[in-house]
Structure 1
């Protein structure tokens, strides 16, 4: 198994960045290689808010993902208090990873992506491209005062 890690800073507050990335319906807008994502089961009760789950309990979502490599089943765990999004998809290369959003300064976050796979193909450039795409998409789509 190989592990890969990349990170970037994003000029968006960590809570806003994580809210955007953990909204699974809009995740394909931030990850261009991801063309579709659909839940395969009803939204779990834990997704109703922090009062519906134990501290640091993940909201587990079963999903179907369509990407450049085809369609796969998988899951996503959203750990809101820790600002971590974990995922795994079925397939030949045991593909799983996580996105982590950390506080850097007021209005700035550190976004880290970790990927673990048995696929020997180098993915470091693709990870940097994904981070760059997220950074650009989120920073350009910030609401302005005139949007209120």
Structure 2
């Protein structure tokens, strides 16, 4: 079991970052393994991801997840049903200037591959930063 957290400064106003992250259809732009995300039925999201299992050929898999947008506090909560109890939160907080903010990701999973999870968190944060900063240019 593990709890993980990481943060990054993003050079856009907090409201802009939160609006971008609140639209789950943007997920595939900063999560490299995701091919598509389609919201439906309230907080449910159907996601398609490209996976590379150790014991099987590469493949696209589709599954259900949930994402809840918490306007007060600029947070998103998400989770994926299954044996790994995978869920977490994104928090958008103030930065040192009005045109920057701080993004923090908290993740809980029953997976024990800590280094791989840290790498995935870092990759997601850098992907979000790049995607949203590029939309501001």
Question: What TM-score comes out, normalization by structure 2 length?
Answer: 0.84
Secondary structure (helix, strand or coil) at the match of 1:21 reads helix
The partner residue of 1:97 within 82, 85, 88 is 88
Is 1:120 the counterpart of 2:102? The answer is: no
Q: Residues 47-78 of structure 1: CA distance to partner in whole angstroms, max 9, x if unpaired?
A: xxxxxxxxxxxxxx112122244322121100
Q: Which residue of 1 aligns with 2:26?
A: 26
The partner residue of 1:129 within 108, 115, 123 is 123
Root-mean-square deviation over aligned CA pairs: 1.4
Question: How much does 1:30 deviate?
Answer: 2.4
Q: Which residue of 2 aligns with 1:87?
A: 78
4+ residue stretches of structure 1 with deviation over 4 A? none
CA contact 1:76–1:86 (8 Å) conserved in 2? yes
Question: How much does 1:34 deviate?
Answer: 2.0
1:1-148 aligned at under 5 Å gives the runs 1-41=1-41, 44=42, 61-69=43-51, 70-104=61-95, 105-122=97-114, 123-143=117-137
> Which residues of structure 2 form unaligned runs of 5+?
52-60
Secondary structure (helix, strand or coil) at the match of 2:108 reads strand
Question: What TM-score comes out, normalization by structure 1 length?
Answer: 0.78
How many residues of Structure 1 are paired with residues of Structure 2 in the alignment? 125
